[in-house]
Every structure is written in C-alpha cells, then in structure tokens.
Structure 1
Amino acid sequence: MNTIPFSQDRPLDLIAIGRLCIDMNANEINRPMEETLTFTKYLGGSPANIAVAAARLGLRTGFIGKVANDQFGNYITSYLVKEGIDTGNIVVDRTGAVTGLAFTEIKSSEDCSILMYRDNVADLKLEPKDVKEEYIRQSKAILISGTALSKSPSREAVFMALEYAIKHNVLVFFDVDYRPYSWNSPEETGIYCRMVAEKSDVIIAGREEFDLMEAPFGELRHDDWYTAETWLRCKAKLVMVKHGSNGSISFTNDGKTFRSGTYPTIVVKTFGAGDSFAGAFIYGLFQGWSVDRCQKFGSASASIVVASHSCSDAMPTVEQIQAVIDRNEN
C-alpha cells in the first residue's frame, strides 16, 4: 500500500496539461543529424507521452491543451482519441501558431540529442479561459508539466488548473520536465516551478531540476535528503529524485525511503525513459501498490521504451511490463 489518497467516484483518473508536439525520430541511427536523411513522425511532448502511457495501462485519461490549426494538430488529436484519451478540452489555436517539432539525433545509444523548433508554438498559447473548472473537478488527479510554465499565457492557464485542482481535492502530480530552450533563464525556471511544486502532492524531478528550484532561494545543496525534507514540509506526500541510469529514490511523508535501479535492456535511444517511467509509476499508485513496487514497474516500463525507436508508440501494456519484471526476478 501507499499513502497517496485519491478521491473516488470520479469519471476520470488523470488529466494531463501542457505540451503537445511532434517527434521526428531519425531512421538512420549511429550517424549525426547532418547525415540523417529520413525521420519517422510520432506524437511527442512529455505530458502527452505520460498520458498515453497511463491510458495504455488502463487509466481513464484526459488532456487539457492547445494544438495548431494544421495537419500536425489534427494528427495529435486523432492519436490521442485512438488511445482512448478524452480530447474534449484540447483547443485549436486560431492565431496562426504552429506545432512544436523535435528532431532527434541518435549517434549511439549513449549519444542522443534533440533539435527543437519551439517558436510561436500552439501549446504555449493555452489560456486561462481554456481551463474548465468542471472538467478538472471530474478527475482524481492532474499532471502538470513544467514546460507549460515557461511562457504566458500557458503559465497562467496552469496556475488556474492548479487552483481548481486544490479547490476540488484533485491530487496534483508535478513533473518538472526542464527544457532549457523554453525558458529565459534558470532563475526564471526555478521560481515558477517552485511555485507549483509547493502546492503539489507528488513531485517527480531529476537532481538537476530540484537544484533549479532550490538555487534561487539559497538552498542549493545537491542533496537528495535535504531536497526531500524541503518539499515534504510543503504539501508533498511523495518526492521522487530521478538519477537517470542510476535509478531513482523516493521519499514519502511517513518517513520512508525507497530506492530503485534499472532493468537491463538493449538501448536504442535515451529519451522517453522518464515519461514511460512516470506513466507506469502513476498507474501503480492508482492501484494502491507500495512505492517500491511502483518504482520497479516504472523502471521496467522505461527499459522497454529506450529499446524502441519511438516514445509514444512504444508505451507498453501491463502484461509487457510484468513480463520484464518476471524475466529479471524469477
């Protein structure tokens, strides 16, 4: 069992809010971008990936966001519908904003990079009026992605969603999802992400991301235990610090600590691991599993996605994840 309380008798388990974009993953791997000739299109954006992961595992999932009035925007919405995700609160932009694009370079399993096109993107045009209180009230939890805080009016829309969630006892997951190219400065990132983290029930972030939130206030110690103490003094019931290939460590408000490693796999690319981990981890919390079991489930999910060419398309089922766990532990 875990100590994360969810309101019952609500039609949705999870609503994600934030970035909706397109991933263009290189088909020619083990070569630089300059020599890459073809790419495959996938749904992208961290909250979108997490929503897909959660839905594929069986959670009733919805999304609040904004897409461009173009073919890519149509593709994004259609993809989410196909996955069983409620898109009734995804708005079509009418200002001429475009769909964000992420071109991936896969030089090797250890050397991957992303070339982002994020100027005038539709997802950051989300406005407070696009966030409906009644919709959020229908969910057990919302997932906020930090990138949505990087620009107005999306920033204000997220804070509106946060306040509605608190008002209606909707549990708040916060995935910091730091992307330097989206922000004006690390200090700006730290200030706005901290404002959300202080009101969140579950905070998921890497060591660098916690450092960003702690540095502007003179609290930078690069220490997981200090980080846990800092955020558990706020509203958080669970604080997870991710350490990439070294696994993660979670701290709960009942004083417990949980460490997890990774599962062996043949790595194709490094991105997508965090999103698949988060989706599976959140699923486990909804099942009432122990945090330790949730972390193992998340790690197994991540091992499947990093062994695949895509992120969203590769999000696994419960059976696929359990097969990885059984294969490595039996």
Structure 2
Amino acid sequence: MPSQDQQTLDLLAIGRSSVDLYGQQVGGRLEDMASFAKYVGGSPTNTAVGGARLGLRTGLLTRVGADHMGRFIAEQLTREGVDTNGVITDPARLTALVILGIRDRENFPLIFYRENCADMALVPEDVDLELVARARSVLINGTHLSQPGVRAASLKAAHAVREAGGRVVFDIDYRPVLWGLTGRDAGENRFVAAQAVTDSLQEVLPLCDLIIGTEEEVHILGGSTDTIACLRAIREKTDALLVAKRGPMGCVAFPGAIPDSLGDGVGARGFPVEVYNVLGAGDAFMAGFLRGWLRDLPLEQCCELGNACGAIVVSRHGCAPAMPTWTELQHFLADEDRPFRLREDKDLEHVHWATTRQGTYPELTVLAVDHRSQFEDLAAELGVDIGLVPAFKNLALSALDRVAGGDPRFGVLLDGRFGFDALARAGDFPYWIGRPIEEPKSRPLAFESSADVATELAEWPLNHVVKCLVFYHPDDPADLRERQERQVLRLFDACRKTRHELLLEVIVPSGMSVDSDTVARAVQRFYDLGVRPDWWKLEPVEDAAAWGRISQVVGQNDPLCRGIVLLGLSAPEEELVASFQVAASFPQVKGFAVGRTIFHDVARQWLTRSIDDEQAVTALAGKLTRLVTAWRNAREQGMPT
C-alpha cells in the first residue's frame, strides 16, 4: 500500500483551519450559553473531512499553532483519513478559534478569534510543490484571498496544480467580518457590498475550473445584487462551471452561457428537512458535489449529492462532525420515507454514529482492572490499606503497555474511584480505554454517579468507552426487568448525546436457568428497546449453538456493531482458553476483557508485600501474554480460510 507521501490526492484544500467551540445550549443568546462542544472547523478543513468521509482522498494545506488545539486538529484529521503532510505547525502563533451558537432557525451568532492566528500566516514558501503535484484538484477560498501572504500562497498552489494538469476549485467563502467590513460581533453576517472585495476576488477567476457559492456570495463576486447579472459578469471572466447554492431550494449549475432565469440552469431534486443549524451546510454541499465532480459523474448527480449532504448537515449540531459518510449518504438517498425532522431519524443517526467512530478493531484484548468491590473485599480480607489499590492499578497499566508495545488492539478497563490516576495516564497511550458506570453488584441496575447519568458522562473524556454491567435475564420478573431496561435506555441515550461509545456487559444472575438461547434473547430484547451498544461484553461459554444464536442476533439487528468481547468471571486460565476455542470461530467475537483471572493472585501478593512493583508488573504481563497468545491461536485455528 502506498504511503501517505506517495498517494495521489483527489483534493488538496487550502486555508482556514480552526477549532469550533459550539454552544451546547440551543435557543438563546451566545451570552447565555454555558458549555461548548469542541470540533475541528474552518471551511476548507470541513470540506476536507467531508470529502474523506465520502471516499475522496483529501489533504489539507494550512498552519496550526504549536498548542493543544493545533495538536487536536492534526490528530483529528489523521483519524478522519485526511492527508496532513501540508499541516504546518507554527510555533509563533496560536490556532484559530471560533465560538458559535444556535439562536433560532435564522440566527447563528459566531465570533472569530483570528488575531494573528496560525492559518492566516500561510506564505508561498509553505506551498510544497510536490504535495500539490500529487493533487488532482486544489480548493482555494475567499477568506484566504483577504490578506497578502495567504493570497499569494493560494495563488501559487492554484497555478502549480494547473501546470500539473489538475483543476482549481474556488469556494467564494465570503465572511465580511474577515475583510474588516463589520464589527467583530457580527461574524454571522454573510453579505456587505464592497467593490474592493469584488475586484480582489475576480482576479482569481481565470484560474478556476469550478466556482461554488451561495447567492449572496455570487453577489459579492459579481458586484451587484442581481443574481443573473452577477453570474453573467463572472462568466465574462471565466469558463468555469458555476454553481449557486440556494438553501432549501437546492442548487443550480451553469456549465456554459447564463440563461435568463435561474430555473433554466442544471439542477437536481432538493431535500426538504427542518433546519436546525445552517453552519457547515455549504461545506458539506461542497464535499458532496466534489464527490461526484471529481469522479466525472453527470452534473445532475453532482448536484444531488451536494444537496443531500447539505440537507443532512443542516439537521445537526456542528460542522465537521456532522458531515455524512458515503454509507450514510447512500442510506439517506435510498430512504424516501425520511422524517422532516431529520435528526429524529434513528436509523440514519445510527449509521452516522457507527460509520464515524474513531478506530477499527479487528481484535481487542483488554486487561480489566475496573473492579471496585472486589478490591475492597480483598483489602479487608488482607487487612491492608485500601489506599494502596490506585498504585496497583497503575502497575497494571504498565504491564499492559509492556505486552502491547503501542499496539492499539489492546485496551484497559479502569474505574474512576481507585483507577483515576491510571485513567489519566492511559490517555497518553494509543490503547482502547473503558470505564464503568454501574454501581458494583447492583440489581436492579444503579449508576455510580449523579442522579442524571448524562451529567456524569459530560465530565468524562471522549476516548473513555462507557462500560455498564447489568445482571439480567430475559425471564426476570416484569417489574425488575422493566426497571433495569429503563436504566439501560437512559444510559444509551446519554452516551449518544455526550458522544461516548457504550459497552454493554450482560451477565445472567447465578442460579437462574440458562440454555443456548438465553443470552441471545437478552441481547435481542435490548435491540427491541432501541439500544444499540457499540460493544457487547458477554460470558464465555463452550456452547457453539449459543454463540451462533448470539452472532445471528447481533448481525441482524446491528451489522455495524463493533463486536463482542468475552469476560472472565474469575475463571481459571485453562477454562478461559477452552472457551476461546469455541468463540474464536465467530467473527463478531473480537477478543476478551479479562480481569481477576489475571490480577487477583498478583494483587494479593503485592498488597501483602510478598512481591515488589517490578515482580507484579512481570507477573501481570506474563498472564496477559498467555491469554493473548491463546486467543490468537484459537482465532487462527477457528476462523474459516
């Protein structure tokens, strides 16, 4: 497979790259918003992300600060599959910020924090001609024509890609405040007539192959408020394909002469949906249109893809994170019975969630040390200070790292009570991190948090997967079953709203009857309720029929589920290995999350000072290694060739 440095890019976007801080309270003034969600932002950055999600090979040329926000942008772009060879770290400037809000259906206040920011410091010397030569097209935008340095950089890239046989895409991207034409508190203002801006923008028109803008942006580019007259003025200076975005009316494209009416241009069906947030919709349109245009699809189909992407994004919170994936877009286009309030389409929202999750896990082997009551019991039995336990959990993390060596197929389960320090440290590693939310041993299920579980999760880092253990049997008494199900539904809803993945662990209570269908029925029941966990954590069994039923239920209800991991139940190592032999032949079982089988005896020895820290780490690493080896051997033997 070619390296990132060698791959041809469909699109190299140039310009704005910022962190968007989106107000989470909707329907009020920006002054009254109390909390903000953090996303990558900036028009060309959004388009690069949107294009990558739609299957285009995209890259970005920009600057970010040598700061936490700059690292966030670079890391997120990598996770999205955007080529970052052109993302330059600027040690002298901070990453740009934008604070945004949703006031009502027509007002979306925003403040640009762009004083001497990194992305506006691009200069021609930053343009890597080898990078540009790898691109089939370059996207430039109006904001980066507003200052001499960034303008020269944009024009250099545009000339270079044309000389290499590529194409130039121009997003008019007019923000009057960034040209100094409005007060800084009027960032949402989309149009102020200014002949100097018109003249500046028109200078790039001969370089362009595709020009896209809203009607207001067409007005600034054309120099009047008559859309047809503006399009004709633009046409006099370029043969480029012109596309005018018209909001809920879709778009209209003009490959040649401009007719007397907008309706006589080339268009496609629109998608009437309730507008929740217009910010980012134009960038989504651009990504969708380019998905077709760069693949040489018919113009009508390019318009339809752009219209559909824009409709999806206006229904959501945020810009870049709202961009649809190709799988999601196909689902949307195939569904003629979609609701007007699109964000209430649970199937579409699930496809979006599941196809934008970060990371892939063909295998996951987890050291589970999230136990709380078990450590309390052990400390009481041994008569030792419970305050020693956090240090042991840090040793467990060290053992995991010794075995994994940076392999992201490994993970750790840690709690926030005794494992807080280890959780904080785990964030510096590339491993999967899970964290329990349930009150230990609770039945009916109770949460170890505030009365509102979403309030608790809002304080968790986004890379913490929420683990919830529920002692559940599908034949539980109705009142108990319904009470537990309500709790799981609350938790699932909270996880989606706080953007946390959910691992649902189901254990059949001891003493209750179990057959080959019991766990599958429990899993099906949760799906029937509308709960779609990202992961399942299930008991190890040596019954192939049971695994067959479980796999069938998961596959039929959620083919996008990440998979199943086996729990240990403190079983002896040889019993776990035997269960691996059966489970490993089912592709949906990705590995294990085992704890006491690995740590219990070691913890006992360490807490009584029978062994030291290094001996504890070595012992834990050895036990984990044996289980990982056993799982991989079982997988290799059990999977069909």
Structure 2: distance between partners of 1:146 and 1:178 = 6
User: Aligned-pair distance for 1:326?
Assistant: 2.2
* Structure 1 position 175 matched with structure 2 position 171: yes
Name the aligned partner's letter for residue 140 of structure 1: R
Count the aligned residue pairs.
Answer: 316
Name the aligned partner's letter for residue 275 of structure 1: D
Q: Is the 8 A contact 1:232 1:238 kept in 2?
A: no
* Structure 1 position 155 matched with structure 2 position 159: no
2:138 partner SS = strand
> Residue 466 of structure 2 aligns with which residue?
none
> Residue 132 of structure 1 aligns with which residue?
128
Which runs of 5 or more structure 2 residues have no equivalent in the other structure?
Answer: 1-5, 182-193, 259-263, 339-641
Q: Is the 8 A contact 1:198 1:231 kept in 2?
A: no
Match of 2:8 among 3, 8, 11: 11
User: Aligned-pair distance for 1:235?
Assistant: 3.8
1:153 partner SS = helix
Structure 2: distance between partners of 1:184 and 1:261 = 37
* Structure 1 position 22 matched with structure 2 position 25: no
Q: Is the 8 A contact 2:74 2:84 kept in 1?
A: yes
Q: Is the 8 A contact 1:124 1:152 kept in 2?
A: no
| Compared CA separation, residues 189 and 300, structure 1 to 2 (3 A) | same
Tell me the TM-score normalized by structure 1. 0.90
Structure 2: distance between partners of 1:135 and 1:222 = 39
> Residue 258 of structure 1 aligns with which residue?
266
Q: Is the 8 A contact 2:218 2:231 kept in 1?
A: no
> Residue 141 of structure 1 aligns with which residue?
137
Larger of the two Rg values belongs to structure: 2
1:316 partner SS = coil
Q: Is the 8 A contact 1:199 1:236 kept in 2?
A: no
User: Aligned-pair distance for 1:267?
Assistant: 2.6
After superposition, the C-alpha distances for 1:46-90 in whole angstroms (9 at most, x for unaligned) are 000000010111111111111111111111111111111111111
> Residue 479 of structure 2 aligns with which residue?
none
Match of 2:317 among 295, 300, 309: 309
* Structure 1 position 296 matched with structure 2 position 275: no
1:258 partner SS = coil
Query: After the TM superposition, which residues 99-110 of structure 1 pair with which residues of structure 2 at under 5 Å, given as runs?
Result: 99-110=95-106
Paired-residue identity, %: 32
User: Aligned-pair distance for 1:214?
Assistant: 2.6
Q: Is the 8 A contact 1:133 1:164 kept in 2?
A: yes
> Residue 199 of structure 2 aligns with which residue?
191
Structure 2: distance between partners of 1:171 and 1:252 = 15
2:202 partner SS = helix
Q: Is the 8 A contact 1:11 1:60 kept in 2?
A: yes
* Structure 1 position 242 matched with structure 2 position 238: no
Q: Is the 8 A contact 1:203 1:236 kept in 2?
A: no
Structure 1: distance between partners of 2:317 and 2:41 = 13
* Structure 1 position 222 matched with structure 2 position 218: no
| Compared CA separation, residues 86 and 28, structure 1 to 2 (3 A) | same
User: Which shifted more, 310-319 or 205-214?
Assistant: 205-214
* Structure 1 position 60 matched with structure 2 position 57: yes
Structure scoring higher RCO (CA < 8 A, sep ≥ 6) equals 1
After superposition, the C-alpha distances for 1:253-280 in whole angstroms (9 at most, x for unaligned) are 3888212453122332111110001101
Structure 1: distance between partners of 2:227 and 2:312 = 30
Q: Is the 8 A contact 1:19 1:45 kept in 2?
A: yes
User: Which shifted more, 64-73 or 235-244?
Assistant: 235-244
Name the aligned partner's letter for residue 271 of structure 2: Y
Name the aligned partner's letter for residue 253 of structure 1: G
Q: Is the 8 A contact 2:243 2:254 kept in 1?
A: yes
After superposition, the C-alpha distances for 1:141-190 in whole angstroms (9 at most, x for unaligned) are 01111111111311111111111122112100000100111114533322
Tell me the TM-score normalized by structure 2. 0.47
User: Which shifted more, 199-208 or 100-109?
Assistant: 100-109
User: Aligned-pair distance for 1:135?
Assistant: 1.4
Structure 2: distance between partners of 1:237 and 1:37 = 45
Structure 1: distance between partners of 2:162 and 2:128 = 14
Match of 2:329 among 300, 321, 325: 321
Structure 1: distance between partners of 2:7 and 2:40 = 28
Query: After the TM superposition, which residues 106-121 of structure 1 pair with which residues of structure 2 at under 5 Å, given as runs?
Result: 106-121=102-117
Q: Is the 8 A contact 1:27 1:36 kept in 2?
A: yes
Name the aligned partner's letter for residue 283 of structure 1: R
Name the aligned partner's letter for residue 61 of structure 2: I
Name the aligned partner's letter for residue 8 of structure 2: P
User: Aligned-pair distance for 1:233?
Assistant: 4.2
User: Which shifted more, 278-287 or 238-247?
Assistant: 238-247
Name the aligned partner's letter for residue 276 of structure 1: A
2:305 partner SS = helix
* Structure 1 position 85 matched with structure 2 position 89: no
Structure 1: distance between partners of 2:201 and 2:266 = 24
After superposition, the C-alpha distances for 1:195-240 in whole angstroms (9 at most, x for unaligned) are 122310000012222222232xxxx36133x444443444433101
User: Aligned-pair distance for 1:329?
Assistant: 8.2
> Residue 285 of structure 1 aligns with which residue?
293
Structure 2: distance between partners of 1:307 and 1:51 = 20
Structure 2: distance between partners of 1:233 and 1:223 = 14
Structure 2: distance between partners of 1:148 and 1:162 = 13
> Residue 33 of structure 2 aligns with which residue?
36
Structure 2: distance between partners of 1:86 and 1:138 = 11
Structure 1: distance between partners of 2:175 and 2:77 = 23
